[in-house]
């Protein structure tokens, strides 16, 4: 897991939108993927976040991890949760299993820079994130959407974001986009298929064939509760008789 330039840029923007956080959790101890190249892009993101007195070189840690970056963005003292302590995780836990009660409602910001795609029981992992978030807390995720062949167990679509986080968990979707890993390609905003009345057709025309993240951020309201099941929106519409069958372009 690691924060590259496009994830770094999104964290910079998110820091301005959601403000300071006190208790941050990284799913997997995130590395900072900077090796002396692309400094201009990293520094531009810092300036756009209102951080003019630091450069990317100030954020580099000898161990290669990203705690300084999270602190610089106002996300406080970031801790890490992982399956093993081999990278110095603060909490050792298998996300395939429910988290312990002492982690419930503990964090006001959780970041997943490519962990849940490696967890077999994705529904349980997402429920764990929901459970660990404080009311008002924000979860941001960048996992494979396309082009990450052979990388993890899964690649994800926007349908998961809206069907689980919006409808099952009752959370506010702050942003959802297809984010190319190469910064020369623009991101593509991904709307809720339920609002459109159909699946997200034609994305292959708008995105490169190289690696693309599904990047999104959600906020957990005070009254959010998990529903029993998650269903894909266009099938629900068909079952209810509100949508005729259609083929994807």
Question: Is 15 within 8 Å of 74 (Cβ atoms)?
Answer: yes
Q: Does domain 2-239 have CATH number 3.40.50.150?
A: yes
CA nearest 141: which of 9, 10, 42?
A: 10
The pLDDT of residue 79 is 98
Mean pLDDT, the chain, rounded, equals 94
The pLDDT, as a whole number, for residue 66 is: 97
Among 88, 50, 43, 82, residue whose Cα is nearest residue 67: 88
Identify the segments of the chain with pLDDT beneath 50. Answer: 245-249
pLDDT for the residue 242: 63
Tens digit of pLDDT for each residue in 83-107?
999 999 999 999 999 999 999 999 9
Q: Considering the entire predicted model, what is its pTM?
A: 0.94
pLDDT of residue 243: 54
At 234 the pLDDT is: 86
Task: Specify the pLDDT at position 108.
Answer: 97
């Amino acid at each position: 897991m690691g924060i590259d330039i496009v994830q770094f840029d999104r964290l910079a923007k998110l820091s301005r939108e959601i403000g300071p956080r006190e208790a941050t959790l990284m799913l997997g101890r995130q590395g900072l993927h900077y090796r002396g190249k692309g400094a201009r892009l990293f520094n531009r993101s810092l300036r756009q976040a209102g951080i003019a007195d630091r450069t990317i070189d100030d954020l580099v840690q000898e161990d290669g991890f990203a705690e300084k970056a999270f602190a610089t963005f106002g996300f406080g003292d970031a801790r890490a949760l992982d399956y093993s302590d081999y990278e110095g995780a603060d909490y050792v836990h298998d996300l395939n299993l429910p988290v312990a009660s002492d982690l419930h409602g503990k964090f006001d910001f959780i970041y997943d820079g490519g962990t849940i795609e490696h967890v077999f029981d994705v529904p349980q992992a997402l429920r764990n994130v929901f459970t660990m978030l404080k009311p008002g807390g924000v979860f941001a995720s960048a996992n494979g959407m396309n082009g990450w062949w052979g990388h993890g167990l899964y690649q994800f679509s926007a349908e998961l974001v809206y069907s689980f986080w919006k409808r099952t968990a009752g959370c506010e979707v702050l942003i959802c986009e297809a984010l190319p890993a190469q910064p020369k390609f623009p991101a593509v905003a991904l709307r809720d298929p339920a609002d459109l009345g159909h699946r997200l057709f034609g994305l292959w025309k708008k995105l490169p064939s190289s690696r693309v993240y599904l990047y999104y951020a959600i906020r957990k309201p005070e009254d959010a509760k998990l529903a029993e099941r998650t269903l894909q929106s266009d099938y629900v519409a068909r079952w209810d008789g509100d949508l005729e069958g259609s083929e994807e372009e």
